[in-house]
Amino acid sequence: MNTSVTKTPTGVDLWFENQKLYIRLQDGREIGVPLEWFPRLIQANQEQLSKWRWIGNGTGVHWESLDEDISVAGLLK
């Protein structure tokens, strides 16, 4: 019998640097993507960017004031 478990990637840390959004995954990998991919984020100020929270136990990120959600798995595709 062959079993396969696909683990959903989850974020454990998030930061912004040099016009990029970085997410550190639970397995130690880091993703860095340009803020320009996300019009609401690129137009936001530092205070707005800092008010984020994990959703789905780290499977996504949500910014209430910006009405923005980003999927960690989506960044990996």
List, for residues 29-77, the tens digit of each pLDDT value: 999 999 999 999 999 999 999 999 999 999 999 999 999 999 999 999 9
62 close to 55: Cβ distance less than 8 angstroms: yes
Q: What is the pTM of this model?
A: 0.88
24/31 Cα distance (integer angstroms): 6
Q: Domain 11-76: which topology?
A: NE0471 N-terminal domain-like (3.30.2020)
